[in-house]
Amino acid sequence: MGKCKILGIAPYAGFKAYFENAIKKRENIDADIYSVSLDSAVDLIKTLDLNKYDAVISRGRTGKMVQSVVDIPFINVEFSGYDILRALKQAQYSGKEKIAFVTFFDLQQNVKILSELMELKIDVITPSSPANVQEMSDIIKTLYEEDINLFIGDGACVDCVEEAGINAETILITSGEEAMDKALDEAVEIIKYKKDAHGKNSFYKTLLEQSDFYMALFDKDKNIVFSNLFALSDGCELHKNLRRHISKIFLDTEINSIEHTPYSSYKVHGKKITINENTTYVMFSIKKSFSPAEKKNLKFETVDLKTAKEHISLISTSESLSETWDKIQTWSTTKMPILIYGGAGTGKKTFAYAAYSISKFNTNPLIVIDCSNMDLKTLSMLFDDDRSPLYENDYTILFKKINLLSTDLQNKLSYYIANTMLTSRNKIISTFTGDAQSMISSNSFSKELYHQLAGIPIYMPSLSERAEDIPTICRSFLTNINQQLPVQIVGFEQEAMELLKNHTWEYGITQLNFMLKQLVLLKKGQFISKDDVSTLLTQSEFKQIEPKNSFMIDTSKPLDEIVIDIINIVLAEEKNKQSKAAKRLGISRSTLWKKLNG
């Protein structure tokens, strides 16, 4: 550890001598010792360079004053039992019948016990410890008037008797070798502990600064307490991003996020840490994620909660989806995987965003992975690279257009999900365009992967199947369009809305939104009229709903044949999609097949 450098402040000459003698016996201590009066101690401290000392040692009232102005360890040389005993022994031979023991420290109990052990025949008065020099002087004057003319105490007591000009004797309680040795032992122990702690702190600080683990610590005023992010080229930008979360963390205790800078992306975990009841910080641990270029190649993006919440109204206000929405709300606290399937443009992504918004995991990021044009290298990197968000827990992962994965990639994804426990660590949502059961039956989609992802299967009907929702959807889109474009359209005439409700939308909600933007840009008034809609529909490739064929059922046929006729009618209406026909008829697909091939 090396030698300890100690500053000694001696309130009387004898104390300095004891101090010097004790230091001579120790090879591990160097000391500068000054003998000063009570009034001069603080002035002396102001003239010294305290940075070169490891600790300060002093005694009594002088020590208290010194301790109040130094910020390095302070050790007080306490009055030992031997010190008090020596002073009482001196008083015993003084011939005085009444004496007073006056110090700034509470020694009443010690004095009483030692007086009884010595069987002193003299009366020893031990008043309560004074709070300051003036109070000590007043106590001494009062006791002197009560015929006490021998005072035992520290240097302050001796000074007060002299300054009062009274005819009384004094005995100074001196510190012996045992008290000095005890103080020096304590000083060495404290200095060693402090140096060890400083060494450990320096070690950890150096370790953090030189490691690949990044951390930043902020106080409640968003000031940086510690950070090794400055080593990063975008450290300043990242600090700015982190500060946005501090107020929320002080309220919610913990957050996960993915922060983007022009150069890279970072996975961030922030939490509140409390050192004591008055000191609280926010600590961020940061891991490098994929760069913007890598992220683009990996076909994934991060969606924030604010963006996702914008989709809730389109789902929660839907009459046809009310039961489904209630079901999702019930399961919002679980990690049960959700598979959303249906035709193109039915709002599957909208439903997925809305489901994430109400989930208990919405304080963590939503990661959207586009499965279109996914290859084995990309899929492997998402699961094998520890920078991937798939390595985290309690995230929401959306596999978009999962039906577009090749058979080999479906099997690979199924393998990864099973071996990384992805569905138990994170909330998994998938969107599937088309009829999953038909693809499974034709071996074009993995049955195993389907069961891994379809904990809660959600069917999204086409826009034509939920025409009653079109007015609500139009109003929501119109509000957004009014905010995005320099227009103010109030709404639709009734006949215009009926035209919109009675048309097919081959590309669903996306197509409807595109048409509304065209209507708004062409419209000069505040209401969209029937003529506006009719003109645009005529000029475009939008298709009107074809009237359903009128089938005549021959009731003279046997019941089995009538049933087959009804099945054929429903199949024709559902464009020969057996799963949809079976659903409408309230029977299983296998039962439907048996009846047709009976």
Rounded CA separation 153/244 (Å): 61
Number of domains into which the chain is organized = 6
pLDDT of residue 521: 78
Q: Residue 548: inside a domain, yes or no?
A: no
- End-to-end, the C-alpha distance of the chain in Å comes to 95
- Phi-psi bin for 2: left (phi > 0), alpha (psi -120 to 50), beta? left
Mean pLDDT throughout 582-587?
76
Q: Give the pLDDT confidence of 355-410 residue by residue, as tens digits.
A: 999 999 998 999 999 998 899 999 999 999 988 999 999 999 999 999 999 999 99
DSSP 40-88: GHHHHHHHS-GGG-SEEEE-HHHHHHHHTT--S-EEE----HHHHHHHH
Considering only 144-158, 297-311, 340-354, 499-513, which range has the smallest mean pLDDT? 499-513
pLDDT-derived band at 553, boundaries 50, 70, 90:
low
Q: Are residues 309 and 398 in the same domain?
A: yes
Q: Residues 59, 188: one domain?
A: yes
Looking at residue 369, which CATH number applies to its domain?
A: 3.40.50.300
Q: Is residue 459 a part of any domain in this protein?
A: no
Q: Which CATH number characterizes residue 164's domain?
A: 3.40.50.10660
Give per-residue pLDDT as tens, 569-580: 777 677 667 777
pTM over 0.75: no
Q: Which of 87-101, 343-357, 550-564 has the highest mean pLDDT?
A: 343-357
129-to-27, 102, 122, 153, 157 alpha-carbon distances in Å: 38, 7, 21, 11, 11
197 close to 175: Cβ distance less than 8 angstroms: no
**How high is the pLDDT of residue 572?**
67
Tell whether 412 and 480 lie within a shared domain: no
460: in domain: no
Do 306 and 403 reside in the same domain of the chain? yes
Q: Do 32 and 96 belong together in one domain?
A: no
Average pLDDT, stretch 451-466? Answer: 92
Q: Is residue 122 part of a domain?
A: yes
Pairing of strands 279-288, 366-370: unpaired
> Is 307 found in the same domain as 238?
no
Average pLDDT over residues 67-71: 89
Give yes or no for a contact between 15 and 174, defined as CB atoms under 8 angstroms apart.
yes
Q: For the residues 227-236, what does the mean pLDDT come to?
A: 88
Shared domain check, 439 and 385: yes
**Gap between the Cα atoms of 323 and 359, Å rounded:** 17
386 and 502 fall within a common domain: no
In a domain, 436, yes or no: yes
pLDDT tens column, 415-454? 999 999 999 999 999 999 988 888 898 889 999 999 999 9
What percent of the chain lies above the pLDDT cut of 70?
92
57 inside domain: yes
Please report how the helices 589-597 and 578-585 are oriented relative to each other, as an axis angle in degrees rounded to 10: 100
- For residue 129 the two structure tokens come to 């410890």
- CA nearest to 490, candidates 522, 535, 520, 530: 520
Average pLDDT, the chain: 86
CB atoms within 10 A of CB 546: 7
In terms of C-beta distances under 8 Å and separation of at least 24 residues, what long-range contacts does 138-142 make, across chains too? 139/102, 140/100, 140/102, 140/164, 140/166, 140/168, 141/166
State the maximum Cα–Cα separation within the chain, in Å, rounded to a whole number: 141
Q: How far apart are CA 210 and CA 204, in angstroms?
A: 10
DSSP designation for 465: T
Residue 544's pLDDT is 46
Residue count of the chain:
598
pLDDT score of 546 more than 60: no
Do 450 and 490 lie in a common domain? no
71 and 31 in one domain? yes
215 in Cβ contact with 228 (< 8 Å): yes
Do residue 127 and residue 91 come from a single domain? yes
Please give the full DSSP string across 308-355, using - where no structure is assigned: HHTTHHHHHT-STTHHHHHHHHHTTTS---EEEEESTTSSHHHHHHHH
Handedness of CA 41, 43, 48, 54 (dihedral sign): positive
511 sits in which H/E element:
helix 508-522
pLDDT band, residue 581 (cuts 50/70/90):
confident
Measure the CA–CA gap between 187 and 199, rounded to whole angstroms.
18
For residue 549, what pLDDT band results from cuts at 50, 70 and 90? Answer: very low
Mean pLDDT of 277-305: 88
Output the domain CATH number for residue 66.
3.40.50.2300
Q: Which domain holds residue 581?
A: 559-597
Q: What is the CATH number of the domain that holds 274?
A: 3.30.450.20
Count CB atoms within 10 A of the CB of residue 295: 19
DSSP character string of 21-46: HHHHT-TTEEEEEEE--GGGHHHHHH
Q: How far apart (Å, rounded) are the C-alpha atoms in residues 46 and 34?
A: 13
Residues 590 and 565 in one domain: yes
Which helix or strand (DSSP H or E) is residue 428 part of?
strand 427-433
Q: How far apart are CA 398 and CA 422, in angstroms?
A: 12
Sign of CA dihedral 29, 30, 34, 35: positive
Position 522 scores a pLDDT of: 74
Ramachandran angles phi, psi of 86, nearest 5° = -60, -40
- Domain assignment present for residue 105? The answer is yes
In the predicted structure, residue 343 carries a pLDDT above the cut 80: yes
The predicted pLDDT at position 240 comes to: 93
Residue 574 located in a structural domain: yes
Strongest mean pLDDT among 23-27, 87-91, 120-124, 268-272: 268-272
- What is the pLDDT, as a whole number, of residue 548? 43
CA distance 24 to 16: 12
